[in-house]
């Protein structure tokens, strides 16, 4: 597989990470570089590891996961997005959490955004593609786009301020719906 194709796959795969990072950048009122780096590291590592796991798992595991993976991703993103929307209308600005997502939330988001990378790994296994270089590229692209996403969200959040967290929640739900519809249709 050529480098350009691998890069295109990595960019497409990292779009969910970017969107979630934008939503997180909006929610974190006092955004700090270390928080953005932590999110980018989580997303980058998961995006790099999941194709390797998918590649190692091969056809048998793909068949077990395929019937429900889209529902799991949809459920997680819809729950988190709904929670963000609810909190944006429920809480006063002073009560709203302004810190970075917890490790648990980062783990859940990392898994949810990297399910597609798992499928990419399965595809690579079926195509006989070596996995190390694509995994590194996929992880690096996710890392960079996540950093950029937090910065974009930080700028948007401070510009619009009042209910922008609801927009972040809508983005998460939209990603879940997109993944669900892609798999169902």
10-50 pLDDT, tens digit each: 988 888 888 888 888 877 766 678 889 999 999 999 999 99
Kindly list the domain boundaries of the chain, sorted by start residue: 3-184
Cβ-in-10-Å burial (0-12, 13-18, 19+) of 45 comes to middle
Cβ-in-10-Å burial (0-12, 13-18, 19+) of 134 comes to buried
Q: Which two tokens stand for residue 35?
A: 């928080």
Q: Which two tokens stand for residue 158?
A: 């401070």
135-145 pLDDT, tens digit each: 999 999 999 99
Is the pTM higher than 0.85? Answer: no
């Amino acid at each position: 597989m050529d480098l350009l194709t691998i890069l295109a796959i990595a960019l497409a795969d990292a779009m969910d990470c970017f969107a979630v990072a934008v939503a997180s950048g909006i929610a974190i009122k006092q955004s700090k570089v270390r928080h953005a780096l932590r999110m980018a590291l989580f997303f980058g590592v998961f995006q790099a590891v999941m194709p390797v796991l998918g590649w190692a798992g091969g056809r048998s595991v793909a068949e077990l996961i395929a019937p429900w993976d889209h529902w799991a991703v949809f459920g997680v993103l819809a729950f988190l997005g709904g929670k963000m929307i609810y909190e944006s209308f429920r809480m006063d600005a002073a009560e709203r959490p302004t810190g970075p997502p917890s490790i648990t939330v980062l783990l859940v988001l990392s898994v949810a955004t990297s399910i597609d990378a798992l499928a990419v790994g399965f595809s690579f296994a079926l195509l006989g593609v070596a996995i190390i270089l694509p995994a590194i590229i996929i992880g690096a692209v996710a890392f960079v786009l996540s950093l950029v996403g937090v910065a974009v969200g930080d700028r948007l959040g401070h510009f619009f301020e009042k209910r922008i967290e609801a927009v972040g929640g809508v983005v998460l739900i939209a990603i879940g719906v997109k993944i669900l519809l892609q798999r169902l249709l």
